[in-house]
A = this chain, B = another copy of it.
Amino acid sequence: MEILEQKHLALIDEAERRGDGPTANLRLCFEVIALAAAIDRDCAARLAPHNLSEGKFVLLFLLHQLPDGLSPHELADRAGVTRATVTGLLDGLERDGFLARQQSKDDRRKVLVRLSPKGEDAARELFDTHTRWIASLFAGFDESDRQTLSTLIQRAWRNTDGGRKAVQTKAASEITQ
């Protein structure tokens, strides 16, 4: 029952062959990545039958129950992707009838995106099954397990570039206060 991916096994082999110190950290890193990749694959597999990807699903639920719609720009900000990416995702969603684009009245540069009834249905239904599925991944975890896992992940995260920057930003803002 090997959790790691092929390429990572090969990398660990090579590191061991070179006697490159402790490969335990390598293995740990690849286990994290393997879990995330497995979750991504499952997510994609669950959404594909509906002609949706993870990115499209996010837009769908961001637009859910917003009769006034949102602009592509707002969608990009809230989804954390570029505006260009949103344009591509909207193209697909509009083609498949989940939503419609409409020119804004007050700002003629702007576009308003609104879900169609089909989109509203999909958002409502998929959101529930989706969150239930995600929660089920950690079935059997009690509060202590969750706390432990979360703490260890955050410790590693602080060693990434993004994590380091966040720590610095936080420190700077605390001094400023």
Residues of A within 8 A of B (CB): 1-3, 5-7, 10-11, 14-15, 18, 20-22, 24-29, 31-42, 45, 58, 61-62, 64, 77-81, 127-128, 131, 134-141, 143, 145-146, 148-150, 152-157, 159-163, 166-167, 169-170
Is A154 touching B3 in the complex (CB atoms < 8 A)?
A: yes
Give the number of times this chain occurs in the complex, counting copies: 2
Contact status of A157 and B38, CB under 8 A, knowing A25-B146, A137-B29, A146-B25? yes
With A15-B131, A29-B134: A36-B36 Cβ-Cβ less than 8 Å: yes
Contact of B160 with A28 in the complex, beta carbons under 8 Å? no
**Once the chains bind, are A37 and B35 in contact (CB under 8 Å)?**
no
- The smallest C-beta distance from A132 to any residue of chain B, in angstroms, reads 8
Of the candidates B61, B146, B163, which one forms a contact with A28 in the assembled complex, judged by CB atoms under 8 Å apart? B146
Determine how close the nearest CB of chain B comes to the CB of A115; give it in whole angstroms.
14
Q: Complex Cα distance A38/B34, Å?
A: 14
A138 pairs with B29, CB closer than 8 A: yes
Contact across chains for A7 and B159 when beta carbons are under 8 A apart: no
* Distance of A70 Cα from B57 Cα, bound (Å): 41
Residues of B within 8 A of A157 (CB): 3, 31, 34-35, 38
A159 touches B146 (CB 8 A): no
* Contact of A36 with B41 at beta-carbon distance under 8 Å, contacts A6-B80, A11-B61 already known: no
